[in-house]
């Protein structure tokens, strides 16, 4: 059964706010003809606003914020709770802090408001990269060695004979704040200048992929066909924010990927196992690598996949014959 009234929650305090607005616009475009969608916006101070849908189509986050101050008012918490309870379902599309860290889910769970996506506990275990890696290692999956910025970086480089490393926020998405470094001093400088906790790990030598996992009507995970991300990693390049969201000639996708069939099946089987073991729900996106030595690593787990028009969830569901609308309806009908 597909809900008829959906509260769409977007925005949030993280640098991924613009991506969240794009996801909200996409959901609105594809579902507004089939059900009632009412958008709610969370500002950088975590205040909630009920929106006129037309406001979603502002050009940039700053343009949006400028209009917000003149078109709507903050909703007090008790009024917000009462309002959200009038909907069949809440659909969070906040990426990054608040939306994927479990904080929003804690709020919804505490007030018995049903929502799309993983529980608060699962979000925390997925989004914080050190926790996610520890959870994967505990259940028997290969993981990269890593340390936090508080550990001995020089000893870490020496122990693992590292010539190139990735320094990234422990909690973050969209490759924001991610750096490729080739020396201990570069890593130390980035960590010392950062305002958030950082994680350091060796650079993966291999081929990058991402995969969407959905739940079927029996609540069993079904991994779709993964997408191979094809870019050159020379000169310190990584799959960064620009390559993810802005047109560029040096990034291509292959779906299905140019991997042997047994590797594709292994990625799908492992993704389903991780989805099940970490108690994920409804849908998720898992990122990883097929290493040069043949191992498969899952390095990032995303509780709320991006839902822009060209996002991986739509790319991969299209390979099994789903339109954008059908993919979204499938997710919320679960």
- Spatial separation of the C-alpha atoms in residues 270 and 266, rounded to whole Å: 6
- Token pair recorded at residue 190: 């980035």
Could you list the pLDDT tens digit for every one of the 334 residues in the chain? 677 899 999 999 888 888 898 899 999 999 999 999 999 999 889 999 998 888 888 767 777 777 887 788 899 999 999 999 999 999 999 998 899 999 999 999 999 999 999 999 999 999 888 889 999 999 889 999 999 878 899 999 999 999 899 898 888 665 677 888 889 998 999 999 888 889 999 988 889 999 999 999 999 999 999 999 887 666 655 554 455 555 555 678 899 999 999 999 999 999 999 999 999 999 999 999 999 888 999 988 999 988 988 889 999 999 999 999 999 999 998 7
- Exposure of 324 in the CB half-sphere (CA atoms within 13 A): 17
Residue 83: the pLDDT is: 97
CB count within 10 Å of CB 40 equals: 21
- Using alpha carbons only, how large is the chain's radius of gyration in Å? 20
User: Regarding beta strands 36-42 and 147-148, do their DSSP bridges make them parallel or antiparallel, or are they unpaired?
Assistant: unpaired
pLDDT at 220: 96
Task: Provide CB contacts within 8 A for 320, sequence distance 6+.
Answer: 224, 225
Instruction: Supply the pLDDT for residue 304.
Output: 92
Q: How far is residue 132's CA from residue 324's CA, in Å, rounded to a whole number?
A: 29
What pLDDT score was predicted for residue 225?
97
| Burial grade of 78 (CB within 10 A; 0-12, 13-18, 19 or more) | exposed
CA separation for the pair 28, 30 (Å, rounded): 6
- Does this model's pTM top 0.75? My answer is yes
């Amino acid at each position: 059964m597909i809900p008829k009234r959906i509260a769409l929650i977007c925005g949030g305090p993280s640098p991924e706010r613009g991506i969240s607005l794009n996801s909200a616009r996409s959901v609105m475009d594809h579902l507004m003809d089939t059900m009632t969608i009412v958008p709610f916006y969370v500002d950088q101070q975590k205040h909630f606003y009920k929106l006129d849908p037309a406001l979603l189509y502002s050009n940039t986050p700053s343009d949006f914020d400028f209009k917000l101050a003149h078109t709507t008012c903050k909703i007090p918490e008790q009024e917000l709770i009462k309002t959200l309870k009038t909907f069949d379902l809440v659909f969070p599309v906040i990426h990054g802090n608040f939306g994927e860290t479990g904080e929003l889910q804690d709020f919804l769970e505490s007030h018995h408001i049903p929502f799309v996506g993983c529980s608060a506990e699962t979000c925390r275990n997925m989004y914080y990269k050190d926790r996610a890696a520890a959870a994967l290692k505990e259940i028997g999956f290969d993981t990269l060695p890593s340390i936090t910025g508080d550990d001995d970086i020089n000893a870490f480089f020496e122990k693992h004979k590292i010539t190139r490393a990735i320094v990234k926020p422990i909690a973050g998405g969209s490759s924001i704040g991610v750096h490729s470094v080739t020396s201990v001093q570069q890593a130390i400088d980035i960590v010392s200048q950062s305002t958030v906790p950082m994680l350091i790990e060796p650079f993966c030598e291999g081929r990058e992929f991402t995969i969407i996992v959905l739940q079927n009507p029996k609540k069993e995970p079904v991994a779709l066909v993964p997408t191979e991300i094809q870019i050159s990693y020379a000169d310190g390049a990584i799959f960064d924010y620009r390559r993810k969201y802005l047109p560029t000639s040096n990034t291509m996708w292959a779906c299905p990927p140019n991997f042997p069939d047994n590797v594709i099946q292994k990625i799908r089987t492992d993704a389903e196992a991780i989805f099940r073991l970490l108690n994920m729900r409804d849908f998720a996106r898992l990122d990883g690598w097929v290493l040069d030595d043949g191992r498969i690593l899952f390095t990032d787990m995303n509780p709320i996949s991006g839902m822009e028009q060209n996002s991986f969830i739509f790319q991969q569901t299209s390979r099994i014959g789903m339109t954008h609308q059908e993919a979204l309806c499938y997710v919320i009908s679960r």
